[in-house]
Homo-oligomer: A and B are copies of this chain.
Amino acid sequence: MIKKILIANRGEIACRVMTTCKEMGIESVAVFSDVDQKALHVLMADYSYCLGESEPSKSYLNIEKIIDAAKQSGADAIHPGYGFLAENASFAARCEEEGIIFIGPPARVISNLGDKTIARQIMIKGGVPVTPGMTQTEPDPLVLAREADKIGYPVLIKAAAGGGGKGMRIVKHPGEMQDACAAASSEAVSAFGNGAIYLEKYIEKPRHVEFQILADAYGNVIHLLERECSIQRRHQKIIEETPSPGLTPSLREEMGKAAVAAAKASGYVNAGTIEFLLDREGRFYFLEVNTRLQVEHPITEMVTGIDLVRQQIEVASGKRLALTQKDVFGRGHAIECRVYAEDPARGFFPSPGKIRFFQQPTGPGIRNDCGVYSGVEVPVDYDPIISKLVACAEDREKAIAKMIKALGEYVILGVKTPIPFLIDVLKSEPFAAGETYTDFIEKHFGNWTPGEGDIDMALISYLMNEISGRDKTQYQSSISQEALSPWKTLGNWRL
Contact A380–B23 (Cβ < 8 Å): no
Q: Judging by beta carbons under 8 Å apart, are B401 and A23 in contact? A: yes
Task: Give complex CA distance A310, B395 in Å.
Answer: 13
Instruction: Give the nearest-CB partner of A481 in chain B.
Output: B354
In the complex formed, the residue of B with least CB distance to A404 is B23
Q: In this complex, what residue of B is CB-closest to A369?
A: B364
- Segment at the interface with B among A56-64, A264-272, A301-309: A301-309
Query: Quick one: CB contact mask for A13-26 with B, threshold 8 Å, 1 for yes?
Result: 00010010011110
Residue numbers of A with Cβ under 8 A of B are 16, 19, 22-25, 298, 301, 305-307, 310, 331-332, 343, 346, 349, 352-354, 360, 362-365, 367-370, 375, 380, 393-394, 398, 401-402, 405, 479, 482, 485-487, 494-495
With a cutoff of 8 Å between Cβ atoms, the chain B residues found around residue A486 in the complex are 352-353, 380
Docked CA distance A479–B494 (Å): 40
A343–B490 CA distance with the chains assembled, in angstroms: 14
CB distance from A420 to the nearest CB of B (A): 16
7 intermolecular pairs with C-beta atoms under 8 Å apart: A331-B331, A346-B495, A353-B485, A353-B486, A354-B482, A360-B362, A380-B486
Q: A354-B482, A362-B370 are in contact. List 4 more A-B contacts (CB 8 A).
A: A19-B405, A305-B332, A306-B394, A310-B398
Q: A24-B401, A307-B393 are in contact. Are A364 and B495 (CB under 8 A)?
A: no
A394-B363 in contact (CB<8A): no
Closest to A323 in B: B394
Contact A485 B354 (CB under 8 A): yes
A365: chain B residues at CB < 8 Å are 307
Instruction: Determine whether the beta carbon of B19 is less than 8 Å from that of A363.
Output: yes
A494 pairs with B362, CB closer than 8 A? no
CA A468 to CA B306, docked complex, whole Å? 43
Q: Distance (Å) between the CB of A485 and the closest chain B CB?
A: 6
- Bound: A332/B301 CA distance, A: 12
Bound form: Cα–Cα A370–B362 in Å: 10
Q: Complex formed: what's the CA distance from A375 to B393 in Å?
A: 32
For A403, give the chain B residue with the smallest CB separation: B23
Question: Which chain B residues lie closer than 8 Å to A332 at the CB level?
Answer: 305
Is B362's CB under 8 angstroms from A362's CB? yes
Known: A353-B486, A402-B23. A394 touches B305 (CB 8 A): yes
In the bound complex, what is the Cα–Cα distance between A23 and B404 (angstroms)?
8
- Which residues of chain B are near A495, meaning CB under 8 Å? 343, 346, 349
Residues of B within 8 A of A353 (CB): 485-487
Residue in B23, B298, B394 whose beta carbon sits within 8 Å of that of A398 in the complex = B23
Known: A364-B307, A485-B353. A494 touches B346 (CB 8 A): yes
How far does the alpha carbon of A19 sit from the alpha carbon of B25 in the complex, in Å?
34
Residues of B within 8 A of A380 (CB): 486
CA distance A487 to B354 in the complex (A): 11
Given A375-B479, A401-B24, A486-B353; A19-B305 close (CB under 8 Å): no
State how many angstroms separate the Cβ of A260 from the closest Cβ of chain B: 21
Contacts of A298 in B (CB 8 A): 364
Nearest CB in chain B to that of A301: its residue: B364
- Give the residue name and chain of the B residue nearest to A16 (CB): B364
Q: How far is the CB of A432 from chain B (nearest CB, A)?
A: 14
Q: Which 3 A-B pairs have the closest CB atoms?
A: A23-B401, A19-B363, A305-B332
A371 to chain B, nearest CB (A): 12
Shortest beta-carbon distance from A324 to chain B in Å:
14
Question: Across the interface, which residues of B come within 8 angstroms of A398, CB to CB?
Answer: 23, 307, 310
Nearest to A400 among chain B residues (CB) is: B23
Bound: A365/B364 CA distance, A: 10
Q: How far is the CA of A393 from the CA of B352 in the complex (A)?
A: 35
**A19 CB contacts on chain B under 8 angstroms:** 363-364, 405
Find chain B residues with CB under 8 A from A393 CB. Answer: 23, 307
| Nearest CB on B from A159, distance (A) | 30
Instruction: Determine if A394 and B364 form an interchain contact, defined as CB atoms under 8 angstroms apart.
Output: no
Which residues of B are found within 8 Å of A307, using beta-carbon distances? 364-365, 393-394, 398
Q: Are B305 and A401 in contact (CB under 8 A)?
A: no
B363-A364 in contact (CB<8A): no
CA distance A19 to B401 in the complex (A): 11
